[in-house]
Amino acid sequence: QKEVEQNSGPLSVPEGAIASLNCTYSDRGSQSFFWYRQYSGKSPELIMFIYSNGDKEDGRFTAQLNKASQYVSLLIRDSQPSDSATYLCAVNNNDMRFGAGTRLTVKP
C-alpha cells in the first residue's frame, strides 16, 4: 500500500467551476499535511498546509482534513486557467512523503 495516494486524474474542469482534489494516507501518526502545486518543468510550491481536523480557507483554496478517515482534500473555487498544474499531496511524520499528484486542467 502506498503511503500517500491521490485520485489518479487527470482532472478537467471548466473555468469558474470548483475543482476537488483528494488524498488518503496510511500513517496514522502523521501530524501535518500539505498541498503543493507544480507547474510543468518547475519545482513544487506550497499552496496550503493544515494540521487540525476541519477546514482551512485561504482565498480560493480550502483544505479539509479528517484524521479519523485519514483523508485530506483541496478545493479550488472559481478555477482559473492559471490553476492548471499538477497538485501534490504531502504528509509529514518526521519526513515529508508525497503522493503521485493529480494533473488539473482548467479549460477557458
Partner 1 sequence: DAGVIQSPRHEVTEMGQEVTLRCKPISGHDYLFWYRQTMMRGLELLIYFNNNVPIDDSGMPEDRFSAKMPNASFSTLKIQPSEPRDSAVYFCASSQGADEKLFFGSGTQLSVL
List residues binding partner 1 (CB under 8 A).
31-32, 34, 36, 42-46, 49, 51, 88, 90, 92, 94-101
Q: Are 72 and 20 in contact (CB under 8 A)?
A: no
* Run of H or E including 39: none
Q: Per residue in 38-64, is it b (16+ CB within 10 Å) or e — as a string?
A: beeeeebeebbebeeeeeeeeeebbbb
Shortest approach of partner 1 to residue 72 CB, angstroms? 15
The residue among 14 and 28 lying less far from partner 1, judged by its C-beta, is 28
Please, what is the minimum distance in Å from the beta carbon of residue 75 to partner 1?
20
Residues sharing a CB contact under 8 Å with residue 70, sequence separation 6 or more, in sequence order: 24, 25, 26, 28
Q: Which residue has the cell 489518479?
A: 8
Q: How many CB atoms lie within 10 A of CB 78?
A: 13
Residue number, 4 or 76, with CB nearest to partner 1 = 4
Complex with partner 1: residue 18 or 96, whichever CB lies closer: 96
CB of 44 to partner 1, least distance (A): 5
Looking at beta carbons only, is 75 or 100 nearer to partner 1?
A: 100
Distance of closest approach, residue 60 Cβ to partner 1, in angstroms: 19
